[in-house]
Amino acid sequence: MNITFRQLQLFRALVSTGSISGAAREANVTQPTASIHLKELTEEIGLPLYEVIGRTVHLTEAGKELATTARVMQNEWETFEQKVAGLKGVERGRLRVAVVSTAKYFIPRLLGEFCAAHPGVEIALEILNRDGVIARLRDNLDDLYIMSRPPEDLALEDRVFLPNPLVIIAPKGHPLARKKGLELKSLAHERFIMREEGSGTRLATDAHFKAQRFTPKVRLVLGSNEAIKEAVAGGLGLAVVSIHALRHAPTPGVVELDVSSFPIASQWHVVYPNGRRLSPVARVFEAHLIRLQSTK
C-alpha cells in the first residue's frame, strides 16, 4: 500500500473530531483538500473506512483497525522525534496525561513544576471521571493515566506516587464536629452524600463501609467534589472526600470529622498499558511523580 504519513494524520484528525471539516481545521488544510486525501486513503486501503450519518462520522471495522494502527505509528514517531531531540541536546516533546477529576487539585501544580524544568514540553491534559479515564486507557490514547483505583482487568504498569487519604466531612456547626474519636456506628442515623458509582472514592468508601459492617443512609449521589462539598455545607448530610479536595480547595462551612476508622488509606497511581514503550518525556515525568513518594 502506498499510504502517506499526511493521510494518516488527517485520518486521525477525522477520528478525533468526528467530521471532515473538523479534521481539516485540525490539520490546517482546506476541507476539499482533506476530502481528497481521505478519499485517496480509502481507495488505497480498498475498503470503506467510515460513513457519514447525519453529519456524524462512524468508523467501519477497517476504519477502527486503521485508527488503532495510525495511533501506534504516531506514538512511535513522536518517540523517535523526542529521541532525536535528545541526541541534539534539545529537550522537547508532547506529554499526554489523562487524570480522574479529583487529581485536578494537585496535577496542574506538578505539571507546572515539570514544565518549569522542561520548558520545551507541550502538555495535553484530560480531566475526566474514572470511567472516562479507563476508556482512554483501553484505547491507549495517552502516555500516562493517573487514578486512585486502577482497573483490575487490564495488564498495567502501575506505580504508586502519592497518598490519597479519604475523610468524612460535615457541615460546620454539626453536633459531631467538636467530638473526638467518633465510632462509625455513631453516624448510623446521619444522611450521606455519595460520589457516583464507579468513581475511585465511591469504590474505596463502599469497600471500607462493607468491611466495617456499616450501611450509610444515602440521601444524594453527586458527580463532583465541589457539588458534594457545597451540599454538605448546605446541611444536606455527611460525605467522604479525598483530603486533596478538602485542603487544596477549601469550602467555607465544611469541617473534617474525627472518626476512629478514618481516614481510609488510598493512594494515587500512575499507570499505562503493560508493554507500551514510554516516550522519553513520559519516562521523565513518571520519574518526577515517583520522586514524590520518597519525599512523603
Query: If pLDDT is split at 50, 70 and 90, which confidence band does 129 have?
Result: very high
Are both 195 and 235 inside the same structural domain? yes
Are both 170 and 52 inside the same structural domain? no
Say how far apart CA 138 and CA 162 lie, in whole Å: 23
Regarding predicted confidence, which is higher, 54 or 68? Answer: 68
> What does the pLDDT look like over 137-185, one tens digit per residue?
998 889 999 999 999 999 999 999 999 999 999 999 899 988 999 999 9
C-alpha triplet 44, 70, 36: angle, nearest 5°? 40
Are both 274 and 248 inside the same structural domain? no
Are both 174 and 149 inside the same structural domain? no
Are both 197 and 261 inside the same structural domain? yes
How many residues appear in the chain?
Answer: 296
Mean pLDDT, range 271-285, rounded to an integer: 89
Q: What percent of the chain has pLDDT over 70?
A: 96
Residue 73 lies in a domain: no
Are both 25 and 156 inside the same structural domain? no
Say how far apart CA 13 and CA 36 lie, in whole Å: 14
Residue 59 cell numbers, joined: 468508523
CATH of the domain at 122: 3.40.190.10
Residue 77 lies in a domain: no
Are both 272 and 144 inside the same structural domain? yes
Number of domains in the chain: 3
Instruction: State which residues form the domain around 62.
Output: 5-66
Are both 257 and 281 inside the same structural domain? no
Residue 238 lies in a domain: yes
* pLDDT of 74 higher than 90: no
Say how far apart CA 203 and CA 59 lie, in whole Å: 34
CATH of the domain at 15: 1.10.10.10
Are both 131 and 274 inside the same structural domain? yes
The pLDDT of residue 90: 47
Residue 95 lies in a domain: yes
Inter-residue contact 44 to 2 (CB < 8 Å): yes
Are both 115 and 170 inside the same structural domain? no
Mean pLDDT, range 91-114, rounded to an integer: 90
Are both 96 and 146 inside the same structural domain? yes
Sheet holding 166-171, edge to edge: 217-222, 191-195, 238-242, 166-171, 254-256
Helix axes 61-87, 280-295, angle to 10 degrees: 80
Backbone angles phi, psi at 43, to 5 degrees: -65, -35
Say how far apart CA 228 and CA 186 lie, in whole Å: 21
